[in-house]
Structure 1
Amino acid sequence: MSSSRRLHSVNAGRASRAARTDAPGGLTGIDKRPTGGPVLVTAPGPKGVGGGGLAGDAVCDRRHHGGDDQAVYAYAREDLDRWSRQLGRDLGAGVFGENLTTLGIDVSDVRIGERWRVGEELVLEATSARIPCATFADWLGERGWVKRFTAEAAPGAYFRVITPGLISPGDPIEVLHRPEHEVSVAFLFRARTTAPELRHRVLAAGEALHADELARARDWAARAG
């Protein structure tokens, strides 16, 4: 394990008003801010019922966010820094709505089914890529944001919780298992968006996929035939 792989920050959000959201009451939890530690991370329950995996983190639109297969969202500090340079503005940890801002690891290269140990106890498994939405675009306030984010294909990764645990900023990240298939979160993202020719290959990630992505991959494979 590289000693440079670690948590830069652990981020949680409170419900706030959003101009563009389908969530009940017009609320969003995208405004996430760094917290101190330790923070407990657990499996929140099925999609539509369970919220986020971090204690104290608001998930307002549970039809599209949260649940066991999207319990935790991670994004790399290095990618935030690159966006900061491109946009000409400071982007603080949590600004993309990520729960974990990482250092020293290419989050978008994480493969579906890859497992991390974060801190001493928490074990996470990658399930899917973040797909940008209108709420995200409105929050960033950048013209053409969905198109720009999509073209960059550095979406960050959603994880399920395999073993719950407490985490704090600075905790090490250890890659416990990296599958041999080719389906990274960036690969899945491109299959969903700009590169449909990849879709028949997504099923190689198998049941580690988010349940919705697995159903979609099976449909793609059937169509490819």
Structure 2
Amino acid sequence: MSHSDAVVVAVALDDKHAFSKRSQSSIRLLEGLGVEGDAHCGEKVKHRSRVRANPNQPNLRQVHLIHQELFDEVAAKGFSVQAGDMGENITTSGIDLLVLPTGAILQIGEEAEVEITGLRNPCAQIESWQKGLLAEMVYKDDAGNLVRKAGIMGVVLKGGEVRPGESIVVRYPEKPWRSLERV
């Protein structure tokens, strides 16, 4: 599978646990930690509900990525979503993030590498932000399978600066591939 047109559209971070993140001209990924200065940066889980459940869990949600095409898809249904609005650190284009297998590695720009750990589970805050949007992000398909579309999560294997316009190269794990599950 070639993703030769895959690029970073935007990058964002926020040092508070806010729903949306602020766009930046660049972000720095820190190996084993996440996005420097972001509320979710760290070796152990930072997501508030997960910290309450067990603060010693490894942080499998260091970097949140969403593809721009999802925003275009929901815009056609009357929603307005911009980069960073749904809390993602990296907005991509030219790659369907949701079909990548667990363990795929994204080389972003010259240095940074992110290993994909799973799907983001969309939270109820999406509904309070824009009524009806949650139903676009999580629903059951015709076969009764739960579909989650609010992006993917990963861990930083190799740190580096990430800027809009940088290329993304996918390295696939050995087969058999495991479909992404909620993390």
Classify the TM-score, shorter chain: 0.7 to 0.9
Tell me, yes or no, if structure 1 residue 124 matches structure 2 residue 91. Answer: no
- Distance in structure 1 (CA, Å) of the matches to 2:9 and 2:113: 17
Determine which structure has the larger helix proportion and give its number: 1
Query: Higher mean Cα deviation, 147-156 or 71-80?
Result: 147-156
Shift of the alpha carbon at 1:108? Answer: 0.4
Change (3 A) 1:148 1:104: closer
Determine which structure has the larger strand proportion and give its number: 2
Tell me, yes or no, if structure 1 residue 171 matches structure 2 residue 142. Answer: no
* Greater length-normalized contact order (CA 8 Å, ≥ 6 residues apart): 2
User: What secondary structure sits across from 1:70 in the alignment?
Assistant: coil
Write out aligned runs for 1:127-166 (5 A): 127-138=117-128, 140-143=129-132, 145-151=133-139, 153-166=148-161
| 7, 13, 19: which one aligns with 1:30 | 19
Change (3 A) 1:30 1:179: farther
| 96, 105, 122: which one aligns with 1:106 | 96
Shift of the alpha carbon at 1:182? Answer: 4.1
- Distance in structure 1 (CA, Å) of the matches to 2:30 and 2:15: 18
Change (3 A) 1:54 1:79: same
Change (3 A) 1:90 1:2: same
Q: Deviations over 1:116-146 (max 9, x none)?
A: 11011111111011112223332x2314x44
Q: Which residue of 1 aligns with 2:76?
A: 85
- Distance in structure 1 (CA, Å) of the matches to 2:24 and 2:99: 26
Query: Higher mean Cα deviation, 58-67 or 91-100?
Result: 58-67
Q: Which residue of 1 aligns with 2:175?
A: 180
- Distance in structure 1 (CA, Å) of the matches to 2:150 and 2:172: 21
Change (3 A) 1:14 1:102: same
Alpha-carbon contact 2:71-2:81 (below 8 Å) kept: yes
- Distance in structure 2 (CA, Å) of the matches to 1:146 and 1:89: 11
Q: Which residue of 2 aligns with 1:42?
A: 30
Q: Deviations over 1:18-71 (max 9, x none)?
A: xxxxxxxxxx3221122102x2101465xxxxxxx1122234744437963111
Shift of the alpha carbon at 1:91? Answer: 1.3
Partner amino acid, structure 2, of 1:157 = I
Q: Which residue of 1 aligns with 2:59?
A: 68
- Distance in structure 2 (CA, Å) of the matches to 1:155 and 1:36: 23
Q: Deviations over 1:85-141 (max 9, x none)?
A: 11x133111111111100100010111000111011111111011112223332x23
Instruction: Provide the TM-score with structure 2 as the length reference.
Output: 0.78
Instruction: Provide the TM-score with structure 1 as the length reference.
Output: 0.65
User: What secondary structure sits across from 1:102 in the alignment?
Assistant: strand
Identical-residue share of aligned pairs (%)? 25
Alpha-carbon contact 2:29-2:162 (below 8 Å) kept: yes
Alpha-carbon contact 2:63-2:89 (below 8 Å) kept: yes
Q: Which residue of 2 aligns with 1:7?
A: 8
Shift of the alpha carbon at 1:4? Answer: 1.1
